[in-house]
Chains A and B, each alone.
Chain A
Amino acid sequence: MIAGGSCASVLLAPPSPDNLPARAATSAAPRSMEQALTLHGVTKRFGTFTAVDSLSLQIPQGCIYGFLGQNGAGKTTTIRMVMSIFHPDAGTISVLGHSDASEIKDRLGYLPEEKGLYKKMKTAEIVAYFGKLKGMDSSTANDKARALLCRYGLGDWLDKKCETMSKGMGQKVQLLGTIIHEPDLVILDEPFSGLDPVNRDMMRDTILDMKKQGRTVIFSTHVMEQAEQSCDYVMMIHRGKLMFAGSLSEIRKGKDFGIQLDYDGDGARLQGLPGVTRINDSGKHAEIFLRPGTDPQQVLRAVLDRVSVRRFDVREPSLHEIFVRTVEEAEGKHSATGGAH
């Protein structure tokens, strides 16, 4: 037991695979299975609205999997069905080899998008409480909660009420409540939203460390860069339908190359470049797509006349570009069919 409000110095090290919650011997069994999660033809309707439409997906064990999609695309509904919070109207879901996630809730960790804490509860108490709800015995949960909080730099907040913490600290506590019981499958719904850069890095490191531990991590996000940096596989859902799924290289395969450009100057001057079909301009960075047969060197020369170039690179399109194109294509089809589901 760690004394209230203080942590042993050995526990103050930053999170790493070595000091993340160790896997319990009892949770080793599912690792022999191939898929952590399988969805087959899963559909969920709310009245006349179809939130998820015949979604089929296979998520291998031990990977980091990104759920991409716009707001209202069906990501959270899918996650809720996986967690057995909602039940699908059609299709089947297999989680860690079980058809009903409620049978193995204690092996799952879930951090919803809308995160909340009991404001009047003490930090260590609430983390331990989540552990107990996942089947941990009281003393183990209490000890582990305190140890985890210390490891994540919240040693001074063990016995302080949640209402006294900052938003970032609160999110850290929520994450620890999600992983305290050493889940085999961790599902994080928009884990990066609202986090400052330091806490975003902490979240990213924790996700990567969980993968190193052999756990499967699924997270949903709007931020393509995060998915690009961390995910082994991604899927994109739009208006409830699966748009694409696979590894990043698979998804990029066959897509036209583009010029990645870091520049200084007036981005408006990049418009109207010869041989260019499309420009994603972010102000200091632009992604430029060329017509087939266009020489990138010619485009570079034209660009140099207009702005000051700091970096020039020819490579596959970013996930952001793929995402935007997919949405635009889907919306085009959607408009053409009169918006019918």
Chain B
Amino acid sequence: MASKTILVAQREYLENVRTKTFWLGILAFPAIFAISIGIAWVMEKTKGTRTYAVLDYSETQVAGTVEKAARAGDFAWSIKRALDDAGIDPASRPELHVLDDLELTPEQEAAARAQIPEQRRLALERLLGSTAKKYVNVPLAELGLAGVPREQQERDLGAMVNDGRLFAYFLFDHDPVAKFEGSLVYVSDNRTDNDLPEWYSNATTRVVRKARIAAAHVDPKTAKDIQESAHFKPRKFDPKTGETSDVKKDEVANKWAPVVFVYLLWIAVFTAAQMLLTNTVEEKSNRIIEVLLSSVSPGQLMSGKIWGIGATGLTIVGSWALCGLIGVKIGTRLVPKIADLNLGDIVSDPLYLASFVGYFLTGYLLFAAVLVAIGSVCNSLKEAQNLLQPVFLLLMIPLFAMVPIVQEPNGTMARVFTYIPIYTPFAMMNRASGPPAAWEYAVTTVLILVSVFVAFKAAGKIFRVGVLMTGKPPKLKEILGWLRAK
């Protein structure tokens, strides 16, 4: 009996996995993922230089100081990033305190550079070079607008922005140190890219804040202390030692990992269950079902199809996991900071892996039973699509619940989802970072297995009758009648 189920499963599996299109389809997902990241990275890297001009009609003539502050800010950011990449805490280097200043002397810059380890200097210079090129101030003299009346300057600059010669221009008016309102104007045709105005505003804020502190005769150190933001250092408690320790980056990544796993689980269950549906409808429409039913029972045929396509789904998931591991290896080489996240450890975490495989199988079996029953009563894919819509809407809900559940893995919402059988696999995977108590694993395992058994029984009854039906799909009342039949 079982061997015929295996024969059917084997055929279903081989039919899928030995085609080139199957492997192209599998590789398409990680490839598209990698290409998307690559495109975003390339676009960021190749983003065109934003050219701007500045008109300074302010009483205090702040534009020059703002420009220097903006450049000093870029330098400080680059130095801090280089130190971060080298694993050095900038706070541990007193020489770098000057980086908060609005202007840096060449000596201060050289001293800061000296703090960077030798092997990272080249990368720092590259970073400084690309940062400097990001935003370029075009002097008015170069634009032929030096000494020209203000109205004409504004008109000509507006025209240059309009025809693309300039990305934007800034105007300082009145007295920004006294009051921002009405003193700062930004003119650009681009309404969506706010990087330049934010960068320039940040520098202006620092300059004006320093001027206001000076005007108020407040000691700069006092002012700095007043402006300091509060920041709670995240630490974790170890019940064994009774002490707390720092939370590492990989631990944070580990807590969020279930979101990625649930998403993959969802795609895998969805893909495999849909393959099963398509396969069932196709076999029914090409009339091979009856030939098969002369050799195997409807139960054997249904089980064989479900297991065969389930194995196909596992192959898909396994291939993605392999691509993920390769991606992490490559990514770690390209971006050293990724190594801190220890993604390789997350991907190979036994709890996550076991949960993923276990919940993929149970989740798939549950939805497969539903979809194979739907497929058996439909004569065409179009008919099946109509019946599928409510099922897919139900399947969408775990996606919306992913983030709230991972933030509170043992909260009320997580628990409610855990005990709704169609969501149990997704919710338990989602809660894996918690992780839930052992008794919850035991109870949900029983719950999902019983649900799968009931779903298989019901699907078997529908499949047996539906698969040989032609013509109009049956009404719900008829299907309920089949379910009640012994």
Pairing of A with B: yes
A residues whose Cβ falls under 8 Å from a Cβ of B: 80, 83, 85-86, 102, 105-106, 108-112, 114-121, 129-130, 132-134, 174, 177
Say whether B297 faces chain A, with CB atoms less than 8 Å apart.
Answer: yes
Inter-subunit contact A110/B11 (CB<8 Å): no
Among B216-224, B230-238, B283-291, B399-407, the one that faces the other chain is: B283-291
Selected from B8, B287, B289, B294, the residue in CB contact (under 8 A) with A110 is: B294
Instruction: Using known A-B contacts A114-B287, A129-B11, determine if residue A120 contacts B294 with beta carbons closer than 8 Å.
Output: no
9 CB contacts below 8 A, A to B, read A80-B290, A105-B296, A110-B291, A112-B287, A115-B291, A116-B290, A118-B288, A120-B19, A133-B4
Residues of chain A with a CB closer than 8 A to B15's CB = 118, 120-121
Residues of chain A with a CB closer than 8 A to B114's CB = none
Alpha-carbon separation in the docked complex, A120 to B283 (Å)? 12
Alpha-carbon separation in the docked complex, A133 to B291 (Å)? 11
Residues of chain A with a CB closer than 8 A to B283's CB = 116
Separation in Å of the B340 CB from the closest CB of chain A? 47
In this complex, what residue of B is CB-closest to A101?
B294
Alpha-carbon separation in the docked complex, A130 to B288 (Å)? 11
Selected from A85, A119, A133, the residue in CB contact (under 8 A) with B290 is: A85
Inter-subunit contact A116/B11 (CB<8 Å): no
Known contacts A80-B290, A117-B288; 5 additional CB pairs below 8 A are A83-B294, A102-B297, A105-B295, A116-B283, A116-B290
Inter-subunit contact B468/A116 (CB<8 Å): no
Interface centre among B4, B287, B295, B468 (most CB of A within 10 A): B295
Inter-subunit contact B293/A177 (CB<8 Å): no
Residues of chain B with a CB closer than 8 A to A115's CB = 287, 291
Say whether B185 faces chain A, with CB atoms less than 8 Å apart.
Answer: no
In this complex, what residue of B is CB-closest to A83?
B294
Say whether B292 faces chain A, with CB atoms less than 8 Å apart.
Answer: yes
Say whether B328 faces chain A, with CB atoms less than 8 Å apart.
Answer: no
Selected from B7, B287, B294, B296, the residue in CB contact (under 8 A) with A116 is: B287
Residues of chain A with a CB closer than 8 A to B286's CB = 116-117, 119
The interface on chain B, measured as residues whose beta carbon lies within 8 A of the other chain's beta carbons, has a size of: 20
Residues of chain A with a CB closer than 8 A to B295's CB = 105-106, 130, 133-134
B residues whose Cβ falls under 8 Å from a Cβ of A: 4, 7-8, 11, 15, 19, 283, 286-297, 468
Separation in Å of the B436 CB from the closest CB of chain A? 43
Alpha-carbon separation in the docked complex, A213 to B290 (Å)? 26
Instruction: Using known A-B contacts A120-B19, A129-B11, A132-B7, determine if residue A85 contacts B294 with beta carbons closer than 8 Å.
Output: yes
Inter-subunit contact B291/A130 (CB<8 Å): yes
Instruction: Using known A-B contacts A116-B286, A119-B286, determine if residue A177 contacts B11 with beta carbons closer than 8 Å.
Output: no
Instruction: Using known A-B contacts A120-B15, A121-B15, A133-B296, determine if residue A112 contacts B291 with beta carbons closer than 8 Å.
Output: yes
Residues of chain A with a CB closer than 8 A to B289's CB = 116
Alpha-carbon separation in the docked complex, A133 to B283 (Å)? 17
Alpha-carbon separation in the docked complex, A102 to B464 (Å)? 14
Alpha-carbon separation in the docked complex, A112 to B15 (Å)? 23
Alpha-carbon separation in the docked complex, A118 to B19 (Å)? 14
Inter-subunit contact A105/B294 (CB<8 Å): yes
Residues of chain A with a CB closer than 8 A to B290's CB = 80, 85, 112, 114, 116
Selected from B4, B7, B19, B293, the residue in CB contact (under 8 A) with A85 is: B293
Inter-subunit contact B293/A174 (CB<8 Å): no
In this complex, what residue of A is CB-closest to B290?
A112
Inter-subunit contact A85/B291 (CB<8 Å): no
Alpha-carbon separation in the docked complex, A76 to B90 (Å)? 84
Alpha-carbon separation in the docked complex, A86 to B294 (Å)? 11
